[in-house]
Every structure is written in C-alpha cells, then in structure tokens.
Amino acid sequence: MKTKLSAENLNISFGTKHVLKNVNVSFAENEITALIGPSGCGKSTLLRSFNRMHDLSPDAKISGSLKLENLDLYSKTVPVTEIRKRIGMVFQKANPFPKSIFDNIAYGLKINNLPHDKGVIEKALREAFLWEEVKNDLKMPATRLSGGQQQRLCIARAVALRPEVILMDEPCSALDPVSTLKIEELISHLKEKYTIVIVTHNMQQAQRIADKTVFMYLGEVKEEGLTSQIFGNPVNEVTANYITGQFG
C-alpha cells in the first residue's frame, strides 16, 4: 500500500523535556492507524506534529523529516494554512466555533476560498452522519447540540475541506458509549476516502476500527503492525504487557 504520511528520525522536545525520540513511522493511504500507549508516551505530540500544531508552542524544538507523500511539511515554502487544509484534525473535546451549525462548516471553506453553498454543507453533514438530525436547525448555535453531535459536526467541518488525511486525537474520550459507537462507525466509513490516524486510550476501540496499530512507550515507537498482530501476537515484551493491562 502507498505511504501517505511519514515521519523520519523525528525528535521533539519542549524546553529540556525530550518528548519524542528518533521516531520513524509511516501511515498507509486509505487505512486507519491507531496510536496507542500509556499517558505521556508522546502519541498526541506525534499526531500534532503532522499538522504543525506545535507552531503554537514557542519552546517546541522539532528535528527530522515529516512528509505528506513527497511534500516536506516543515518546508519554508509551503504555507502552514495549506498544510492544515490538506491534513484535517478532530480534537479530544468537541470544539465547535461559537457560530451556527451552518457557519461552523462554511467557515473553513470560506477562508480557504472554496465554495460554501448549501449543497456543499449538506454533503459534509451527510458524510458525518449528522444531516438528518440537524437539517431543520442549520441556523441554531452549534453549542446547543449534544456532545456526540458536536463531535460529529467537528468531523463534518474537517471533511468539508476534502483533506487527504484526518488526524483524530482521542475523539471519543469525552463521549457516552452510544455516541462513541456512532463515531466509530463513521470513522470506519471515512477511510474509503481519507487516510486516518487516531490516537486512542481505548484498546478495544483500536481493535474495533484500526487496520494497523502503532504502540508507543516513553517517546519511542516500540512496535507497529497489523492490529490483529499487535493485539494477538505482539513481539515486544512491553507491548504484550501493555495490551494485557499490566500497566498503563
């Protein structure tokens, strides 16, 4: 399978804290890859380095190469806004804009000079399995939706820009089981069009939706492979201890 997103010899430190140590990892096109590992292992840090969210932290030091296909993500000639348009993100806690449901999706399109008529908005909402629930309330403030609906709106907002990759940072950790199931179904569906990298604390979730799994520990990638192999027959001892719940 074709590699869509990759990191080579990636090192990230914040001040004196060395968070990612020589990480080499790649994500295949139209697959779901789960990043798992105990808290503080650097999985969110790795995820956020792809759409350059660390640009916000002045003390972040990044070395190594990060690529979207052949495009250097930290090249000075590519505007960061272009990268974030091509690599979308869904966050841990649903963070809709303080705008209407319609404008939540239209906003990203507008600033990227893309068409944002009702048809486009409807398509994005349908893709996020949200259209039927909100089609009569498009003018309603997005903050009035339930937590699960808000998170699906955030997914709709990301897919509306037709990104190539969608990064998801524990998108279900604040949701109830029913909403979680809906979002998992949605994610499985989205891989037909997008490459998805998802950070999760929930190992059952990784097994339910991910094609491949990457296990991280103390800032290093310990093991990666097919999800069935990682959970069924791990090679690394630390991986085995983690997935059997001996720590973490």
Partner 1 sequence: MLRKSQKLTSVIEWGTLLLSTLLVCFFLVVVIWEIVSKGASQLSWEFVTQVPTDGMTKGGILTPIIGTVLLTLITALFSIPFGVACAIYLQEYAEDNWLTRTIRASIRNLSGVPSIIYGLFGLALFVQALQFGTSLIAAGLTLGLLSLPYIITTTEEALMRIPNSTREAALAVGATKFETIKDVIIPSAMSGILTGVVLTLSRAAGETAPILFTGAAFYINGTSGFVNQEFMALPYHLYMLSTQHQSIDEVRPIAYGTALVLIVVVFLLNLTAFYIRYKYRKNEN
List of residues contacting partner 1 (CB under 8 A):
51, 53, 56, 58, 81-82, 84-85, 88-89, 91, 93, 95-99, 107-108, 111-112, 141, 143-144, 154, 157-158, 161
Residue 92 identity (one-letter amino acid): Q
In the complex, minimum distance from the CB of residue 166 to partner 1, in angstroms, rounded to a whole number = 10
| 21/54 with CB nearer partner 1 | 54
Q: Which is nearer to partner 1, 23 or 124 (CB)?
A: 124
How far apart are the C-alpha atoms of 106 and 108, rounded to whole Å? 6
CB 220 within 8 Å of CB 21: yes
Cβ atoms 222, 236 nearer than 8 A = yes
3-state secondary structure of 94: coil
- Compute the least distance from the CB of residue 177 to partner 1, in Å: 23
Shortest Cβ 1–partner 1 spacing (Å): 26
What would the two tokens of residue 114 be?
Answer: 């893309």
Rounded to whole angstroms, the Cα distance separating 12 from 219 reads 9
- To partner 1, the closest distance from the beta carbon of 174 in angstroms equals 11
Residue number, 41 or 161, with CB nearest to partner 1:
161
Q: What 3-state DSSP class applies to 95?
A: coil
Reference 7, options 236, 248, 224, 187; nearest CA is 224
C-alpha 130: how far from chain center:
19
Give the nearest distance from C-beta 85 to partner 1 in angstroms.
Answer: 4
Closer Cβ to partner 1, 32 or 145, answer by number: 145
Q: Closest distance between partner 1 and the C-beta of residue 95, in Å?
A: 4
d(CA 201, CA 132): 30
Measured from the CB of residue 139, what is the shortest distance to partner 1 in angstroms? 12
Distance CA 128, CA 9 (A): 35
109 or 210: CB nearest partner 1 = 109
Nearer to partner 1, 153 or 203 (CB): 153
10 Å CB burial of residue 204 (0-12, 13-18, 19+) is exposed
Sign of the CA dihedral running 130, 159, 32, 148: negative
Whose Cβ is closer to partner 1: residue 140's or residue 235's?
A: 140
